[in-house]
Structure 1
Amino acid sequence: MSPVIDAHFHLWQVGRHGFEWPTPDLTAIYRDFAASDLRAAAGDGLHGAVAVQSQPLDADTQWLLSLAETDPLILGVVGWTDLSAPDAATRVAELARHPKLKGLRPMLQGLPDDNWIVRPDVAPALSAMQAAGLVFDALVFTRHLPAIETVAQRYPDLRIVIDHAAKPPIATTEAQPEATRGWTEAMTAIARHPNVVCKLSGLFTEMRPDQPFDEAAPYVAHLLTVFGPQRLLFGSDWPVVRLNGDWQKWKHWLEDQLNPLTSPERQAIFFTNAKRIYDLQGVP
């Protein structure tokens, strides 16, 4: 079995470390999740994983970093800090000193301003991220991609990772084909920037519960076309994937979609690209 790096999973403790989400109505994921849960879900072959913040608070980031110090499964952390704060550049530089802090994610999908990331008050933090070699994880929808393109142009040495393929409109692909066309065009445009890569993650949770998983196949095919296997990363979005599937279902389905690729290309998506893009240390 080839080794896998899961480039996107979450940990949380209900009521602690700034916990705000998930809410109690999401019964499949409204409980504590530890790294041991990911190990159990993934089984043999999981070499390591990147823990991604789930709460827009510094307490969540500090907790993840403390876990990463003692748990070898956590190869890196994508944290959070307020990139618009007056001292954001200093804060970014301080966080970057932690060897397991690999990136930051400002959770753009939930902000009222779709162009927040290109505001002047955010620029010092982005410059600090670029200088420190941190990754910018972009949690976005299609409508945010023009702003991400602007960031890619302004900061050509900033590595940008599009989380969950910008959450494509798979659930409405038949009822609203124009939304899918908009996503296709926007992803084609953003992929022209060499400092932008994309996670193959989160697609099942963008689907209706009654929808066959194979209706996500055209979206994966498009991502392969515009990014290529050297700029795509496997991520499970554990435990959020439990809302529609599980870790194994997602991985096996994705493996089927990637079967036409060569063995080195598949290894890049499931292992090598995460190691390179997040500069994961101690990974053979």
Structure 2
Amino acid sequence: MQIDAHQHFWHPGRGDYGWMPKDDPVLSRPYAPFELWPQLQAAGVEGTVLVQAAPTVAETEYMLGIADATPWVLGVVGWVDFERPADLAELQRLSGHPKFKGVRPMIQDLPDDGWMLREDVQWAFRALCDLGLRFDALGFPRHLANFLTILKRYPTMQVVVDHCMKPQIREKSEAHFRFWADGMSRIADETAAVVKFSALITEADADWTVEDLRPYVDHVFAAFGAERVMWGSDWPVCRLRGEYADWRAAALELTAGLSDVDRALVFGGTAAGFYGL
């Protein structure tokens, strides 16, 4: 089964997408299942994982409603307030929904790079372990060391590194590449985390090429192996640099050297196993 392990739906009128630029011609409009489905069919993708885009439990409920009405949305990654221990009750309640698979705090947007190490948020990591839920790790290369600390502190927590930890490909800097690559290698070697092969084009220049992406993709596969890599579109955010079909075609080209078995893992099997789809 071909699975898109990372996509979004939203409606700006909800009012809880604080990161979204106002009047952005790509992002600042509603995105719903009817628009994505034809693109999935064209790509041969049969199911998706719908991921949060707002730091509210209300948006998680909104996504679960979409998932209930959309058979091909196989799982939902939502949000709870890690700074509010009372949200343990929300997490327990949400975990009863068969399509609720885990949570993603929006760490990339937080001013404190050490937020995840704070004592007052540790209850949430422990709860994810206790409830068998997943943690989507969203950040930038500067967060790699702190993520490594958290992953080693909670070795039973099921973790996926979103978007290859967003290497800044557009910088074309060897020093930046090495910093990112070393951090990703440590996570691969010292933890059981998996990684999402997604969103790389949005970290590249507007005129990106497959060859711009290749060193980063090759490193991820060398470090993690196909059995720990899952492809995601990051649609509609990917539209900042290309349409769904553009990124899908690039991903297929970048994985052309893999065996059929490994490609089946990257484009479906890893996501199915990790999220329990």
Q: TM-score, normalised by structure 1?
A: 0.94
- Whether 1:222 and 2:219 are equivalent positions in the alignment is yes
Partner of 2:202: 205
Kindly state the Cα deviation for residue 23 of structure 1 after the two structures are TM-superposed: 1.9
Q: Distance in 2 between matches of 1:49 and 1:73?
A: 6
Contact kept in structure 2, 1:56 and 1:107, CA below 8 Å: yes
Partner of 1:20: 18
Give the unaligned 5+ runs of structure 1: none
Give the Cα separation in 2 of the matches to 1:236 and 1:159.
Answer: 21
Per-residue displacement from partner, 1:96-118 (whole Å, max 9, x unpaired)?
A: 11111101000100111111112
- Where does 1:46-61 land on structure 2 (aligned, <5 Å)? 46-61=45-60
Shift of 1:152: 1.1
Alignment-derived partner of residue 187 in structure 2: 190
Number of aligned residues? 276
Distance, in Å, in 2 between the alignment partners of 1:183 and 1:210 is: 22
Give 1:25 shift.
Answer: 4.3
Q: Is the 8 A contact 1:14 1:31 kept in 2?
A: yes
Question: What is the CA–CA distance in structure 2 between the aligned matches of 1:167 and 1:48, rounded to whole Å?
Answer: 24
Structure 2 Cα separation of the partners of residues 36 and 213 of structure 1: 29
One-letter amino acid matched to 2:29: R
Query: Which protein has the bigger helix share?
Result: 2
Residue in structure 2 matching 1:243, options 228, 240, 244: 240
**Mean Cα deviation higher: 216-225 or 21-30:** 21-30
Q: Does structure 2 retain, via aligned residues, the 8 Å contact 1:197–1:231?
A: yes
1:97 matched residue in structure 2: 96
CA positional deviation for 1:160: 0.8
CA contact (8 A) 1:204 1:213 kept: no
Superposed, which structure 2 residues align to 1:100-179 within 5 Å?
100-173=99-172, 176-179=173-176
Change (3 A) 1:17 1:99: farther
User: What fraction of aligned residue pairs are identical, expressed as a percent?
Assistant: 39
Residue 270 (1) aligns with residue 256 (2) = no
Q: Assess if the C-alpha contact under 8 Å between 1:35 and 1:73 holds in 2.
A: no
Does 1:38 pair with 2:36? yes
1:5 to 3, 6, 10: 3
User: Deviations along 1:14-46, whole A, 9 cap, x unmatched?
Assistant: 211623343234312221100121112222422
- Give unpaired runs (5+ residues) of structure 2: none
Q: TM-score, normalised by structure 2?
A: 0.96
